[in-house]
Amino acid sequence: MSFLLRRAGFYVVAFVVAAIFNFLLPRLMPGNPVDIMFAQAGTVLPPESLEALKATFGFVDGPWPVQFGRYLASVFTFDLGLSVRFHPLTVNAVLMQALPWTLLLVLTSSLIAFLLGSALGIRAAWRRGGAFDSFGAPAALMIQAVPPLVTSLVALFVLSIRLKWLPTGYAWAPELDPGFTPAFIGSVLVHAALPILTLVVAQIGGYLVTMRNSMINLLGEDYITLATAKGLSDGRVRYAYAARNALLPTVTSFAMTLGATFGGALITEIVFNYPGLGYTLYQGITARDYPLIQGQLMLMTLAMLTANFAADLLCLALDPRLRRA
């Protein structure tokens, strides 16, 4: 229990640090922070909305602790202000519209990459030095060196523009009405296929190599030899004894790399005009929509912390030693 409490305390600290960044940055820039942040907003928003927006970011009368307190209060109640680019929507509304699409890409691709990569990693470690291992492990590392930006550009050009197998953009065919109809769901899946494929390629190598390495380290342990000597089946030793323990580093890194995966998803969405967070954010960046850009940092940090917390819980379930510590 104290393990979880310690972690929870750390997450609050991390969240506040991200908020401090957002609070300080406009104030560190040369010139008047209000001018910097709301230059665009002033031309779009009516005066009373602009005042409300400034208050959200702590631009109120008073010394800076008061301003910071005001800002923290709005962040912790998840009041992120008004979007400038998507006026009159709030940043919250804009982000929440986009979030499900990004989650669809990130979660599906992570799951596929995790299952496939770990399975291949187990295979490579079990016959280490064999044909699959000596080809697969370096190949996985090479694939990892390819940035998602390049993978998505190549996939877009070859599979959608040249071969015309898959659509070049958007989340569903525009002539369909959103709803739980087979045609609509099918369209969503077809449109998500390429972004997901790109993200799986970006992640799979990492899972393969991590799993392979931690398996190889474990296979030399005495308890594996004992399990084999007891006459347990190969499959039992491989999965119930070696793979279960080897999963621990993978689970931790799963959470840590989620930030990178979100980053990759942002890029992929922009290349495929996919209406998730990345694409929305891209439009926000071009319009210098600071409330939106700052809001996404808080949302992404929150997503990272949630994932880390989930990983903590999973580690707790997999590793009984943590429960006693």
- Among 83-91, 93-101, 236-244, 257-265, the segment contacting another protein (CB under 8 A): 257-265
Measured from the CB atom, is 92 or 213 closer to another protein? 213
Of the candidates 322, 290, 231, 299, which has an alpha carbon nearest to the alpha carbon of residue 92?
Answer: 299
- Among 70-78, 122-130, 171-179, 293-301, the segment contacting another protein (CB under 8 A): 293-301
Please select the residue that binds another protein; options are 227, 242, 305, 311, rule is CB under 8 A: 305
Q: Measured between alpha carbons, how far is 7 from 320 in angstroms, rounded to an integer?
A: 17
Q: Considering the rule CB under 8 A, would residue 102 count as an interface residue with another protein?
A: no
> CA end-to-end span of the chain, whole Å?
9
Q: Would you say the C-alpha torsion 40, 45, 50, 54 has a positive or negative sign?
A: negative
Please select the residue that binds another protein; options are 63, 163, 286, 325, rule is CB under 8 A: 286
Contacts from 235-244 at CB under 8 Å and sequence distance 24+? 238/122, 238/126, 239/122, 242/122, 242/125, 242/215, 242/218, 243/118, 243/122, 243/211, 243/215, 244/318
The interface mask with another protein, positions 110-149, x = CB under 8 A, is ----------------------------x--xx-xxxxxx
Measured from the CB atom, is 134 or 233 closer to another protein? 134
Binding site for another protein (CB under 8 A): 10-11, 13-14, 17-18, 21-22, 25-26, 29, 36, 138, 141-142, 144-150, 153-154, 156-157, 161, 168, 202-203, 205-207, 209-210, 213, 217, 249, 253, 256-257, 259-260, 262-264, 266-267, 270-271, 281-282, 285-286, 288, 290, 293-294, 296-297, 300-301, 303-305, 308
